[in-house]
Amino acid sequence: ATKMALRAGLRSKRGLTGVAVMRMQSPPVNSLNLELLTDICIALEKLEMDKSCRGLIITSNQPKVFSAGLDILEMYGKSPEHCGEFWKAVQEMWLKFYGSNLVTIAAINGSSPAGGCLMAMTCDYRIMADNPRYSIGLNETQLGIVAPFWFKDTLMNTVGHRTTEMALELGLLYSPAEALKIGMVDQLVPEDQVLTTATEAMTKWLAIPDHARQITKSMIRKPTIDKLMSNREDDVKNFVKFISKDSIQKSLGVYLEMLKKRKA
Ligand SMILES: CC/C=C\C/C=C\CCC/C=C/CC(=O)SCCNC(=O)CCNC(=O)[C@H](O)C(C)(C)COP(=O)(O)OP(=O)(O)OC[C@H]1O[C@@H](n2cnc3c(N)ncnc32)[C@H](O)[C@@H]1OP(=O)(O)O
């Protein structure tokens, strides 16, 4: 039986119609594996074609974690072919979210490192739980890997040039308060209010006529999207070449061990 990795449905509570809530539920930490990425893309594609849907809130059903980012097990000890397929799915998720016609809001109810942060940054607005135990950021360099140009572009478009230099080179993970300060997230609220606040924020975004908002969003994001679109195959090749290196595989292995030991 296929595992339902997320739930998407149109809500009509409190007068808020045409808004889907997507809840990632891939235990234990919503790491983005091929299955979850594919499910997310299919669900978003369906919503995008549904004329009654205008907005999407993405959140997590897992306690304490929004998403642990890309599933390292999809990149560790796998064949070049598998790594290539996986990377295409990561690209697809980014392209669909960053270019979405819907109003997209990330209700970040837990930690969101690396690919989890990327996913949140593709949204139009980010609300995070104000819990100092949670962290968010692009920490790739800490794993000995390099975030590709479109991760970097998404961060730069969100927090600016200088902050991106510091954040990306040092692989910084920020507390919610720090993330708010640099503009990585837009609002902090108590944990139990993340979803209701996302719904309230959605009302404000939906008050803008769709066509005007969509054209404006596209005008701002299209150059960044086009850059990946015209380099997709090379980007896959670069990823496969990079991730297959013995030194990179070793770094990933060490990092996975560290994650397990930290737990013990
Ligand atoms: C020139 C360059 C050219 C090309 C380069 C191209 C590309 C390279 C770049 C690729 C980009 C990668 C981006 C990524 O997203 S990499 C993933 C980074 N993610 C992390 O660093 C997060 C790691 N996880 C955590 O910090 C914590 O798990 C978290 C804070 C999310 C939750 O903590 P909690 O205490 O609640 O859970 P844990 O006990 O730590 O974890 C539970 C089990 O889950 C496993 N786990 C956690 N994260 C991952 C993951 N991302 N992938 C796979 N597995 C993960 C963890 O090991 C535990 O497993 P078990 O011990 O239970 O077996």
What are the domain boundaries of the chain?
A: 4-211+228-263
For the segment 111-115, the average pLDDT, to the nearest whole number, is 98
Domain 4-211+228-263 grouped into CATH 3.90.226.10? yes
pLDDT at 1 over 80: no
181-198 tens-digit pLDDT: 999 999 999 999 999 999
pLDDT at 51 over 90: yes
Question: How many angstroms is it from 112 CA to the middle of ligand 1?
Answer: 10
**Distance of CA 166 to CAs 24, 96, 134, 150, 153, Å?**
30, 28, 20, 17, 14
| Confidence at residue 264, expressed as pLDDT on a 0 to 100 scale | 67
- Which residue puts its alpha carbon closest to atom 60 of ligand 1? 260
120-146 tens-digit pLDDT: 999 999 999 999 999 999 999 999 999
Pick the atom of ligand 1 nearest to 259's CA. 57
Q: What's the pLDDT band for 22 if we cut at 50, 70, 90?
A: very high
What is the percent of the chain where pLDDT is above 70?
94
Is residue 58 within 8 Å of 107, Cβ to Cβ? yes
23: left (phi over 0), alpha (psi -120 to 50) or beta: beta
Is residue 189 within 8 Å of 129, Cβ to Cβ? yes
Question: How many angstroms is it from 257 CA to the middle of ligand 1?
Answer: 11
**Distance of CA 133 to CAs 91, 117, 184, 247, 259, Å?**
30, 16, 17, 32, 17
| Confidence at residue 4, expressed as pLDDT on a 0 to 100 scale | 39
Q: How far is 207 from 193, CA to CA, in rounded Å?
A: 22
For the segment 21-45, the average pLDDT, to the nearest whole number, is 95
Bridge partners for 247 per DSSP: none
pLDDT at 71 over 90: yes
Question: How many angstroms is it from 185 CA to the middle of ligand 1?
Answer: 21
Question: How many angstroms is it from 16 CA to the middle of ligand 1?
Answer: 35
pLDDT at 46 over 50: yes
Mutate to test the pocket of ligand 1, among 26, 29, 108, 248 (most ligand atoms within 8 A of CB): 29
Question: How many angstroms is it from 70 CA to the middle of ligand 1?
Answer: 7
Pick the atom of ligand 1 nearest to 75's CA. 10
DSSP state of 70: B
166-183 tens-digit pLDDT: 999 999 999 999 999 999
- Give catalytic residues, as residue numbers: 70, 115, 139-140
Pick the atom of ligand 1 nearest to 73's CA. 53
**Distance of CA 37 to CAs 31, 42, 183, 215, Å?**
9, 9, 26, 27
Residues with CB under 6 A from ligand 1: 28-29, 31, 64-65, 68-73, 111, 113-115, 139-140, 143, 145-148, 238-239, 242, 259-260, 263
